[in-house]
């Protein structure tokens, strides 16, 4: 991948996982235990300010259960908090 200084990208991502779904080892931002019957939205941007340097930021919101989830005591709906991620990647 070639990172050209001054280039940028933006995205909007929608994730929806059915009951008994498992996604692991993919680098997904949500921990495995929250993928079972959940949905969320993520928006993000990235910018290349200099050669081999990538700056990225993303915001995940609206993460919640799509149905009742079984627990040890009673079934429940759950809501996850919104969160922001900022990262810098340098390519050697």
Sheet holding 53-65, edge to edge: 8-17, 38-50, 53-65, 83-90
Asked, for residue 58, whether it belongs to a domain, the answer is: yes
Q: What is the distance in angstroms between the CA of the first residue and the CA of the last residue of the chain?
A: 12
- Is residue 89 pLDDT above 70, yes or no? yes
Asked, for residue 81, whether it belongs to a domain, the answer is: yes
Which range of residues forms the domain containing residue 62?
8-90
Asked, for residue 3, whether it belongs to a domain, the answer is: no
- Is residue 53 pLDDT above 80, yes or no? yes
Tell me the per-residue pLDDT of 16-49, one tens digit each, with 9 for 90 and over: 877 666 655 555 555 555 556 778 899 999 999 9
Asked, for residue 46, whether it belongs to a domain, the answer is: yes
Q: What total number of domains does the chain contain? A: 1
User: How many residues are present in the chain?
Assistant: 92
Q: What is the pLDDT of residue 8?
A: 95
Asked, for residue 34, whether it belongs to a domain, the answer is: yes
Asked, for residue 29, whether it belongs to a domain, the answer is: yes
- Is residue 65 pLDDT above 60, yes or no? yes
Asked, for residue 2, whether it belongs to a domain, the answer is: no
Higher pLDDT, 15 or 23: 15
């Amino acid at each position: 991948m070639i990172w050209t200084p001054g280039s940028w990208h933006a995205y909007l991502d929608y994730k929806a996982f059915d009951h008994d779904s498992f996604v692991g080892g993919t680098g997904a931002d949500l921990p495995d235990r929250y993928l079972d019957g959940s949905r969320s939205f993520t928006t993000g941007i990235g910018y290349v300010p200099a050669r081999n340097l990538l700056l990225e930021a993303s915001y995940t919101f609206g993460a919640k259960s799509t149905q009742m989830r079984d627990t040890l005591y009673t079934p429940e709906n759950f809501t996850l908090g919104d969160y922001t991620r900022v990262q810098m990647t340098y390519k050697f």
